[in-house]
Amino acid sequence: QVQLVESGGGVVQPGGSLRLSCAASGFTFSSYGMHWVRQAPGKGLEWVAFIRHDASTQWYADSVKGRFTISRDNSKNTLYLQMNSLRPEDTAVHYCVKDTYDSSGKYYFDYWGQGTLVTVSS
């Protein structure tokens, strides 16, 4: 069965950095696009970043562009999110998400990890 296990969350001061990891298993990791989605405490879901199956393309939400970098190591079945210049508004549970495609070739999310909490506070 598909498993996505995030790690690396914690408390960091404004302006600091953190790197999240997501260990994937139960599917052919190198065949699927992957995403990070976050949820601030008591709030809704916000898509953060996407990386193609072969790492050839990365897309970012405007709120994190230039500060966050998504990457992957297909030999280790692991997804990463490097978070720099962190702000209090980045405080959220960050989810690792696997995508799949429908009959039209459009990508939606089918499996989510349990999430890791990032708290940006002085």
Footprint of other proteins (CB under 8 A): 35, 44-47, 50, 59, 61, 95, 102-104, 106-115
Q: Which is closer to other proteins, CB of 68 or CB of 95?
A: 95
CB 39 within 8 A of CB 114: no
Local structure of 13: helix, strand or coil:
coil
By beta-carbon proximity to other proteins, the closer residue of 1 and 16 is 1
> Look-up: residue for tokens 């990032």?
118
- Report the greatest alpha carbon distance in the chain: 47
**Cβ 110 to other proteins shortest distance, Å:** 5
Q: Which is nearer to other proteins, 44 or 75 (CB)?
A: 44
Question: Closest separation between CB of residue 29 and other proteins, Å?
Answer: 18
9 neighbors 68 (Cβ within 8 angstroms): no
Nearest approach in angstroms of CB 59 to other proteins is: 7
Measure CA of the first residue to CA of the last residue in the chain; give whole Å.
40
